[in-house]
Amino acid sequence: MEKPINLAIKYHQENPQFSLRSVAEHFSVSRATLQRQVKAPLKAKGDKNTNKNLSDIEEKAVCAYINRLDRINMSIRPEFVRDAANAILKEQQSTATPLNNIVTIGPH
């Protein structure tokens, strides 16, 4: 059996003439929850994060860098990690990319 919120979303998609408020009331769900789910549906468990700048391999490279710093007893500071990630991102970019369009991580 489907959850009431999913039924309400499906009903609203099939009947857009009804307001979210009336659909929420009819299915006894929170109007705010219904509105949030209609505007930006939750990702499925298997969906990958699309807001990633580094690939999995590049993330592992940053982790290896952190481990290397730790092995030589050097304090691992956030700016070291950020600079390492930004160096990787800078290498990815085309030489034709304007400097102000290069993707970076953290404060600029």
**Helix/strand number for the chain, H first, E second:** 5, 0
66 neighbors 48 (Cβ within 8 angstroms): no
Band the pLDDT of 98: cuts 50, 70, 90. low
| 5-54: pLDDT as tens digits | 999 999 999 999 999 999 999 999 999 999 998 887 766 666 666 667 88
Overall pTM > 0.75? no
Say what the pLDDT of residue 53 is: 81
Cα distance between residue 19 and residue 38, in whole Å: 12
For residue range 48-94, list pLDDT tens digits in order: 666 678 888 999 999 999 999 999 999 889 999 999 998 888 888 76
